[in-house]
């Protein structure tokens, strides 16, 4: 009987010992989740040295900064920005396929583009629609932006389609030199202006969507207030191509980056040359 009790006690002690949690030290801040060394200054590696994103040139943070998204082979993928863990779900449908131009994040919205073609065998381009989606994947509005060359869709780079950083408004430069601005919540047109014989290269919106900037070729940038369409004092940026334009959150300042063609080793290149700041009010 004594041996039996002793054996049972020993078994219990062994069981308790084996069930005790193994202490885990803090993660090494110099290595990623796979144990590979991080580049200097990096806080996490999204994926590992063994897994690389094959076709990505754009990244977006979520509005709250907690998640980071990229495009890989025409689909959205995402990670937890703090840990680098791959997301199975996100504020937007992950793995959703898109054709044509890359979508763009603005505020807590996603603007993607749908192209339509004829079905008579000739595959002729008919039009392009901007589709505004909320954080649940629900379509909020659709905006017609029929243009064959939208270019770089970005909140700060002039292109044929611009979106405010808060995701409330968009502007579009059509092939016939007509500029339109839209409310992305309703899809309603707010402003329309035609440049006539003037040559336009792109549009940009202020972060709050209340000011529209229209880049004229080799000229200054025209400004319009929205939604009343009143033309404001133009923005002097000098000769060259407007590469980027950013407006302060209070709407008081604008910084512009202008590039010019220069003879560089190996040929002629478009070189950023003039970075200016302008008072807007």
pLDDT tens-digit profile of 54-84? 555 567 777 677 878 776 666 777 888 777 7
Structure-derived torsion over alpha carbons of residues 80, 83, 87, 88, reported in degrees to the nearest 10: -140
Q: At residue 12, does pLDDT exceed 50?
A: no
Question: Across residues 187-198, what is the average pLDDT?
Answer: 90
Q: At residue 14, does pLDDT exceed 50?
A: no
Res 184: pLDDT? 93
| Extended strands (E) in 1-86 | 59-61, 67-72, 75-80
User: If you search the block for the tokens 């040559």, which residue do you land on?
Assistant: 199
* Mean residue pLDDT across the chain: 75
Least confident segment among 24-38, 86-100, 123-137, 217-231: 86-100
Name, in order, each residue with C-beta under 8 angstroms of 48's C-beta and a sequence gap of 6 or more: 32, 33, 34, 36
Rounded to whole angstroms, how far apart are CA atoms 160 and 177? 10
Closest CA to 272 of 234, 235, 244, 248: 244
Task: Answer yes or no: are the C-beta atoms of 181 and 189 closer than 8 Å.
Answer: yes
Could you report the per-residue pLDDT of 240-253, keeping only the tens digit for each? Answer: 777 788 888 787 88
Rounded to whole angstroms, how far apart are CA atoms 272 and 251? 24
Rounded to whole angstroms, how far apart are CA atoms 80 and 61? 10
Rounded to whole angstroms, how far apart are CA atoms 66 and 61? 7
Res 35: pLDDT? 79
Res 15: pLDDT? 44
In the CATH hierarchy, which fold is given to the domain comprising 152-281?
Methylamine Dehydrogenase; Chain H (2.130.10)
Question: Across residues 144-162, what is the average pLDDT?
Answer: 74
Task: Answer yes or no: are the C-beta atoms of 247 and 264 closer than 8 Å.
Answer: no
| Higher-pLDDT residue of 143, 9 | 143
Question: Across residues 187-206, what is the average pLDDT?
Answer: 88
Could you report the per-residue pLDDT of 76-127, keeping only the tens digit for each? Answer: 778 887 777 888 766 566 766 665 566 777 877 888 888 777 777 677 777 7
């Amino acid at each position: 009987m004594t041996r039996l009790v002793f054996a049972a006690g020993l078994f219990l002690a062994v069981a308790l010992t084996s069930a005790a949690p193994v202490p885990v030290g803090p993660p090494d801040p110099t290595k990623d989740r796979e144990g590979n060394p991080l580049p200097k200054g990096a806080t996490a590696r999204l994926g590992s040295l063994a897994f690389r994103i094959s076709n990505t040139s754009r990244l977006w943070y979520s509005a709250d900064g907690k998640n980071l998204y990229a495009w890989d082979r025409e689909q959205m993928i995402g990670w937890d920005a703090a840990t680098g863990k791959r997301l199975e779900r996100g504020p937007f449908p992950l793995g959703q396929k898109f054709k044509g131009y890359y979508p763009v994040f603005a505020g807590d919205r996603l603007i993607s583009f749908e192209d339509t073609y004829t079905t008579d065998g000739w595959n002729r381009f008919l039009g392009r629609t901007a589709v505004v989606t909320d954080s649940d994947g629900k379509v909020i509005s659709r905006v017609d932006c029929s243009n064959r060359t939208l270019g770089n869709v970005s909140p700060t780079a002039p292109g044929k389609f611009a979106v405010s950083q808060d995701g409330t408004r968009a502007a579009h430069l059509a092939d016939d030199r007509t500029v339109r601005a839209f409310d992305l919540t309703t899809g309603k047109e707010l402003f329309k202006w035609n440049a006539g014989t003037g040559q336009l290269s792109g549009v940009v919106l202020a972060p709050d969507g209340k000011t529209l900037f229209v880049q004229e070729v080799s000229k200054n940038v025209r400004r319009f207030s929205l939604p009343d369409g009143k033309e404001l004092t133009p923005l002097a940026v000098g000769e060259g191509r407007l590469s980027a334009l950013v407006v302060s959150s209070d709407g008081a300042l604008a910084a512009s980056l202008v590039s010019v063609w220069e003879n560089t080793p190996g040929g002629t290149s478009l070189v950023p040359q003039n970075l200016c700041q302008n008072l807007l009010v």
